[in-house]
Each structure stands twice: as structure tokens, then as C-alpha cells.
Structure 1
Amino acid sequence: MGHLSTHVLDTTAGRPAAGVAIELRRLGADGSSEPVASTVTNADGRTDGPLLEGASLQAGTYELLFHVGAYFARTGAGPEQPFLDVVPVRFGVTDPAARYHVPLVVTPWSYSTYRGS
């Protein structure tokens, strides 16, 4: 059974990023954007469960929106005016039966992502 998951790592502090708000949107070929899920990372920087799994994970284009500006403001690690506020990560799902893990590695000034396992 396929599923989509994520986690957030704060490399400035060297720890998981707890309390990061995350939105998941499904993008249409016509440019439309449909909200699919929203959550907040737990103490381990992860969501409490998959964002999508089974039949709810469909082939197509998705976008994760990570609200890191509020997280860094709360932790005191970022500048007064966030350089990164909401980090969008757009990706494609080609095999809905596969596992998709899309983590975010972030500082107040940079980020990276990859397809994890």
C-alpha cells in the first residue's frame, strides 16, 4: 500500500523541528490547487501518521508547504523578518502503490529536500 510521509530537520539547532505547520495540496493540470491535508510536526519532527495512504494517494503533482518562518520565530533562531517563510516543495507521484517520503532539511536561510525511503 502506497503512502506519503514527511519530516522536518532543523540543522541550525541540530534537532528535529517540532511544531512546524504543514499543508499538502494536489495540483491540477489546469493550475488549480486543492487542499488535501494539514498537520503539525510532533516532537520528533514527523507527522503522527502518513499524509496520504492507500486509495487517497493518487498519481499526480503535489505541493507541500512548510511554514518554517513561524517555527524559527518561535525558537528565536531566525531573523526578525524571515528570509524563508513558507517553503514549497512540489513533486510528482507516478506510482500510487509506492512509498513517498519527502523530508525537509532547513535553516532560517536555506533548505534541501530529497525522496527518502
Structure 2
Amino acid sequence: MGRLTTHVLDTAHGCPGAGIHVELYRVGEGVEKIGEAWTNEDGRCNQPLLQGGAFRVGIYQLVFKIGYYYRARGVSLGEPAFLDDVVLRFGIAAPDEHYHVPLLVSPYSYSTYRGS
């Protein structure tokens, strides 16, 4: 059964991104919020963000509240911050597979890929 998971690594501090608010949207004729979670001490969400019958072919968007995370750590970002929300839009083409979307982030950069 397919599922969607994520993992955040704070490359600026060399640690998991714990306590980051993550929102999940389905993109169609509009953008519909379908879920949210917070990362745990390992930078992962405790449950898949999407699975079962809700996990289907389509375009999705993850929004990571990175600015809030860094401000809570005491990092001065300036106003407006260079990165506040990191938005990743991606497609799910095979609903029977595991889609893992890791995010490597710092206050001024991010990188992602389809993990396993």
C-alpha cells in the first residue's frame, strides 16, 4: 500500500528539524488542505501524511513552516525572511508505492529529492 512520508534535516545546525509544522495540500482546480503534522525529535512525522484510499494519483504540495522553526531556535532571519515557508509541489503517479519527500534546510537554502 502506498504512502507519503517526509523528513526534515536542519543542515545549518547539523541536526533533525524537530517541531516543524508541515501542511499537505491536494492541487487540482484549486488547492485543498488535506492534512497537517509536526515533525518529531527525529525530524519525521509520527504517521504517514497520506495513505490508504486518500493516497491517489495527483499533484500535491507540502508546506514546511521553516521561518517559524528558525525563529524559535533564536536565529535572526530579518524581515521579511529569505525563506519563511518552503513549498514543494510534486506529483504522485504510482499510488501503490512509497513516496518519501525529505527536506534539507537552512535559513537561506533548501534541497529535496524523492527518497525511499
- TM-score calculated relative to the size of structure 1: 0.95
8 A Cα contact 1:78 1:108, kept in partner: no
- Percent identity between matched residues is 50
Paired amino acid for 1:40: W
Q: CA–CA distance in 2 between the matches of 1:39 and 1:75?
A: 19
The Cα shift of 1:78 comes to 4.1
TM-score by length of 2: 0.96
Q: Deviations over 1:49-73 (max 9, x none)?
A: 1001121101000000000000000
Aligned to 2:101: 102
What residue ranges of structure 1 are gaps of 5+ in the alignment? none
Aligned to 1:43: 41
Contact 1:84 1:108 (C-alpha < 8 Å) held by counterparts: yes
- May I ask how many residue pairs the two structures share in their alignment? 115
**Gap regions ≥5 residues in structure 2:** none
Write 1 or 2 for the structure with the bigger share of strand: 2
Following TM superposition, the consecutive aligned residue runs of length 4 or more in structure 1 with deviations greater than 3 angstroms are none
Query: How much has 1:79 moved relative to structure 2?
Result: 1.7
The letter for the 1-side match of 2:99 is Y
Measured on the aligned residues, the alpha-carbon RMSD in Å equals 0.8
2:54 corresponds in structure 1 to 56
